[in-house]
Amino acid sequence: MTKYIFITGGVVSSLGKGIIGASLGKLLKSRGFSVAIQKFDPYINVDPGTMSPFQHGEVFVTDDGAETDLDLGHYERFIDSNFSQLSNVTSGSVYLSVINKERRGDYLGRTVQVVPHITNEIKSRLMAAKQHFEPDFMIVEIGGTIGDIESLPFIEAIRQFKTEQGIGNAINIHCTLLPYLQTSGELKTKPSQHSVNTLRSYGLQPEVLVCRTAKPISKSDKEKLALFCSIAKDAVIECRDMKSIYEVPLALEDQNFAEVVLKLLQVKNKTPDLKQWKHLVDKINSPKRTIKVAIAGKYTKLSDAYISVVEALKHAGYQNDTKVEIKWINSEDCTDMKKCKEALKGISGVVVPGGFGVRGVEGKLNIIRYLRENDIPFLGLCLGMQCAVIEFARNVVGLKDANSTEFDEGTPYPVIDLMLEQRAIKACGGTMRLGAQECVVKKGTKAYEVYGKTKISERHRHRYEFNNTYREKLEKAGLVLSGTSPDNMLVEMVEYTPNRWHVACQFHPEFKSRPEHSHPLFLGFIKNAIEYKP
């Protein structure tokens, strides 16, 4: 029988509910339970795919091609499972299906209302995920902060669902912040009390309180929170700021977080196996060296825009006992080779990540040229590969003004072009080449060296592709096409073999990197970056 854990947040946004939920998932899985997750997002966009990374951070992509909230990435990385379309629910998608049903006449003349129609739709999404995954535990995180207008239908749906499930089958973990007042040297519990009161006014009594804090919470503060929030003393859990997010599950385990949850859900506790995770945290905390790696993109003001890339780089570092420090380079500043040289001082390697639109592209081309000419490790991801192809076409093959038709429709050499099936598409949402697809890796390449096999599967999110008209020309000039689709129609990976590591891929390997199993392409890149002495 599936048990349900709802995670809400109060006091402020960006509390790290996703990390707390993912940590609980890890702790339950380490006890041998199966775990599935679902994220409810209260915005009206049907999915975050149409939102700027500046607004919402990275768009995470699942195997089945869902464009989802970045928290899903944390869940996949912590729990080491692949989730799906069913794991991401937004107000937009809920309203869209209710309105579609109304237009079809499914409601037979009734007035369509938030309660019960929207709340029923939310509950049916929950059941659909449960039926698909059949997990022991379903962790459901509600985005936003308690008190927000937008999340009310989700809160009401959970309230109904919890009541329907009965005691011991569904609980609510509420996450809050205890602000620290420097002048009086105190942690303040009042905002958390108010937040729980607001939650209660919606008919939800949390069973567990997880408090984010910069300082240890005293016993008396815990008791105060327990008393005023009507929560058992052992269910007030401290979640202190950690050096690494991967320490959070262990810090929560030390306070018997999972045991408390299991008791509330009337499930017998089991001994967790956290040996490998502890080993990971030891590695994170005792690196043998530090290297500086740059990410050259245009969303550099918000590191969340590339969060999976950052995590994948760190994972490869952990596996090599290396701390990877990130330098953010705004590619728009790299207007010539001199500027590139300055920006790359002390840098052991550069990732050019994905992106959309022409802004910053010329700077990326300059950086990639500088890396190629100076044999500095380079990893290109999606747009990064497209830029590597354009750079090679322009500066090695001599195709002046070669470009992607995304940036210059009238380019004389469209080395990157829109896929045929994309040409007729006008709508934005969910219309790219999305999700996991197979790729064949060519033997004898750097890519083959790191993957160690010819058949791989990686996740995509793009509209444009390598233009096959230019295959021969570029290959003759020395660009190795190290990965293609199984029918050989799409170029998925390129590399420039005279260099130690100049490798780029059309897909997003960062979405499949896990802290305990780093991704082969990131490993190859980081190994070369360690050996390269800037």
List of residues contacting ligand GLN (CB under 6 A): 354-356, 382-383, 406, 461-464
Give the rounded distance of the alpha carbon of 525 from its chain centre.
20
Q: Which is nearer to ligand GLN, 167 or 425 (CB)?
A: 425
Q: In angstroms, what is the minimal distance from the CB of 407 to ligand GLN?
A: 9
| Residues with Cβ within 8 Å of residue 432, at least 6 apart in sequence | 49, 422, 460, 461, 462, 463
Of 31 and 462, nearer to ligand GLN (C-beta) is: 462
Cβ at position 77, least distance to ligand GLN in Å: 20
How many Cβ atoms are within 10 Å of 278's Cβ, its own excluded? 12
Span between the terminal Cα atoms of the chain, in Å: 56
Residue with tokens 């038709």: 405
CB of 517 to ligand GLN, least distance (A): 23
Our CB check for ligand GLN shows the closer of 298 and 369 to be: 298
Q: Are 26 and 48 in contact (CB under 8 A)?
A: no
Which residue type sits at 28? L
Question: Please, which residue, 36 or 387, has the CB nearer to ligand GLN?
Answer: 387
What CA–CA distance (Å, rounded) separates 459 from 455?
14
CB nearest ligand GLN: which residue? 354
Question: Residue 492 Cβ, how far from ligand GLN at the closest point, in Å?
Answer: 13
Q: How far is the CB of 53 from ligand GLN (least distance, A)?
A: 10
* 444 backbone φψ class: left, alpha, beta (φ>0; ψ -120 to 50): left
Residue 224 beta carbon to ligand GLN: minimum distance, rounded to whole angstroms: 49
Respond yes or no: is residue 428 known to be catalytic. no
User: Could you say which of 117, 315, 460, 508 is catalytic?
Assistant: 508
Residue closer to ligand GLN by CB (options 206, 354) is 354
Q: How many Å apart are CA 227 and CA 215, to the nearest integer?
A: 21
Q: What is the DSSP secondary-structure string of 299-334?
A: -TT-GGGGHHHHHHHHHHHHHTTEEEEEEEEEGGG-
How far apart CA 490 and CA 505 sit, in angstroms, is 11
CB of 485 to ligand GLN, least distance (A): 15
3-state SS of 153-210 is HHHHHHHHHHHHHCCCCEEEEEEEECCEECCCCEECCHHHHHHHHHHHHCCCCCCEEE
CB of 58 to ligand GLN, least distance (A): 10
Smaller CB separation from ligand GLN, 71 or 406: 406
| One-letter-per-residue 3-state SS of 385-397 | HHHHHHHHHHHHH
What are the angstrom distances between the C-alpha of 283 and each of 124, 510, 512? 43, 20, 21
Active site residue 211: no
Q: Please, which residue, 52 or 213, has the CB nearer to ligand GLN?
A: 52
Distance CA 113, CA 289 (A): 59
> Token pair for residue 273?
């196996």
State the DSSP string of 361-388.
HHHHHHHHHHHHHTT--EEEETHHHHHH
> Within 10 A of 412 (CB to CB), how many other CB atoms are there?
10
Q: Give the nearest distance from C-beta 349 to ligand GLN in angstroms.
A: 19
Give whichever of 461 and 527 is closer to ligand GLN, judged by the CB atom.
Answer: 461
Q: At 492, phi and psi to the nearest 5?
A: -110, -20
Taking the least distance from each CB to ligand GLN, the nearer of 1 and 428 is 428
List the one residue out of 2, 3, 515, 5 whose CA is nearest residue 257. 5
Does residue 382 have an active-site annotation? yes
The single residue listed with the structure tokens 């420090």 is: 325
Contact between 429 and 49 (Cβ < 8 Å): yes
Minimum CB distance to ligand GLN smaller for 31 or for 461: 461
Active-site residue, from 382, 387, 439, 505: 382
In angstroms, give the least distance from the CB of 331 to ligand GLN: 13
Whole-angstrom distance, CA of residue 426 vs CA of residue 421: 11
How would you class 21 by CB atoms within 10 Å of its CB: exposed for 0-12, middle for 13-18, buried for 19 or more? buried
Q: Which residues are catalytic?
A: 382, 508, 510
